[in-house]
Structure 1
């Protein structure tokens, strides 16, 4: 993770995130994203990633993944923006930090695009 001094960049925060959701965890996440974007960082990105398929070597994954991982290929075929693999998310995060992205809220389809751009950079 890279800390960027407030003096290095623009301190304007976009008003893109709805923190008035019905679902409590979405409300907390929206408020956290809004609060982070109000901070004087040069760049802040909110990743909304959907279902993440973990890599096999992780030892601290939830046990329910062994029951739902079979859904990943089906879900990816039906709705690719809602399903990603952990290495794809990591590559997209590194690409967004190294090559600033135009959107502050990075959703599933943007993760796939940033992942592809990161692979070819």
Structure 2
């Protein structure tokens, strides 16, 4: 921070037991944060605890295998939890199963075109 650098750490996985310790760190960005069902900390709770941190969210790859409608529904719920949308990036940091890749990416893209304007409604 003294040199004007942003501090980021890759923290995917099950973070619920570490959430308060992470809040005390000087981290600026929590990269690869993975919400349920693969992680154990909901986005809304992470945003509440880490008010001063940017969350770079890993869209759980397990959602893709559920099909278009389930992926779309999950993405809509993420946007609701993310409202108004400050301090959040939605990324994919893991491999999407190839047979589900384009269907899942289409579902996410469709939701973002329809609802992905800032500020997000709650």
Shared fold (TM-score greater than 0.5)?
A: no
Q: TM-score range by the shorter chain?
A: under 0.3
Q: Normalized per residue, which structure has more strand? A: 2
Greater Rg, structure 1 or structure 2? 1
TM-score for the superposition, normalised by structure 1: 0.25
Q: Normalized per residue, which structure has more helix? A: 1
TM-score for the superposition, normalised by structure 2: 0.25
